[in-house]
Amino acid sequence: MRAPGRINLIGEHTDYNDGFCLPLAIDRECVVRWEPRTDGLVTASSEQLPGEVALAADGSTDPAGVDPPWGRFVAGALRVLAELRAARGVDLRVASTVPPGSGLSSSSALSVALTFALADAGGLAFPDRRDAARAALAAEVEATGVPGGLMDQLCALFGVAHHAILIDCRSLDVTPVPLPTTHAVVAVHSGVPRTLAGSAYAERRAACEQVAARLGVTSLRDTTPSQVADDPIARHVVAENARVLAFVEALHDGDANALGPLLLASHASLRDDYRVSIPELDLLVQLLVEHGAIGARLTGAGFGGCVVAMVQRNHADDCVAKATREYEARTGIVPSGFVVRAVAAAGPCS
């Protein structure tokens, strides 16, 4: 079974606020192959990370105690599948081209591919792919203890080639939106690991919940700009939701000129109001724009990882080469940039 990574074009830190986001499934994917075994064990190995795990197929292993740590994803998926009564003994082999820890969601590519592989082995189908997304998220939460939103899993399960995916994180409605053929989407990893991302994520999430509670609403989705004008954290979320909808409208209208300023406004808001940027990400955004991107912004939780940019297609490679060269000269950190293609959702390997 295969599941793609994703890059979020716009709509950052909105998913856990019942808001909107616009990721695309990218041409970097995790493949999990399975072979049956008869002793009630599930073993797993990864081509990318060392170590092997052997776990009880009934989901009785506590993920927190599993070593190597990546094996916790297997233990988490087994727990969830065991609850769905679909566990059986298998040998699993993981092979992924999604770079881990860079904000392209190697973790949900892994958890979706594992969930599909174990379900396949256990004879379980997911007629509604939202249920597969929920199961994969539950597996990831079991594995990491981090209560993430559903964006990554929904994108892996509803991606469409040449389209971004508008997700309404309240209704879980998913709408494919065609991407312009004139422009490429580019991912550039800053080379900075996201060490602070976990704790800051939890803090920001709690801050959002506090504002919503103070205003007497279920989530920040239900607030207006004037209600949150004095609160930078909530202000980002409310403005970001509006930017996602404006971005989708511009895509529908073929108005490429409107896209860049929305990406840049999103970055500024994440930097100044939500405060999840770092100087390296700010510099990358600036250099990409100086070298011809129509817009760029940090993507993923922040504090390192990747920047996403849109660049005229025939100029994209040149822009990335120049921006990354200058970034390396100025910071001494080696970045890596590449054009991404929007691909189809998770499914059987072809």
Rule CB under 6 A: which residues touch ligand ADP? 46, 48-49, 69-70, 73, 94, 96, 100-107, 110
Encoded tokens for 273: 């109001």
- Return the number of the residue (48 or 227) whose C-beta is nearest ligand ADP: 48
222 is catalytic: no
For residues 96 and 105, which CB has a smaller minimum distance to Mg ion in the complex?
A: 105
Residue 96 interacts with which of ligand ADP, Mg ion, none, CB < 5 to 8 Å by class: ligand ADP
From the list 15, 18, 152, 231, the catalytic residue is 152
The CB-nearest residue to Mg ion is: 107
Least distance to Mg ion, CB of residue 342, Å:
19
**Measured from the CB atom, is 151 or 288 closer to Mg ion?**
151
How far apart are alpha carbons 271 and 275 in whole angstroms? 5
- Least distance in Å: CB of 231 to Mg ion? 27
Rank residues 18 and 140 by Cβ distance to ligand ADP and give the closer one: 140
CB of 121 to ligand ADP, least distance (A): 18
Least distance to Mg ion, CB of residue 143, Å:
10
Report in angstroms how near the CB of residue 98 gets to ligand ADP at its nearest: 6
> Given the rule CB under 5 A, which residues bind Mg ion?
105, 107
144/219 with CB nearer ligand ADP: 144
Could you say which of ligand ADP, Mg ion, none residue 102 binds, taking C-beta under 5 to 8 angstroms by partner kind?
A: ligand ADP
94 binds, among ligand ADP, Mg ion, none (CB under 5 to 8 A by kind): ligand ADP
What's the token pair of residue 93?
Answer: 């082999």
Catalytic residues, by residue number, are 152
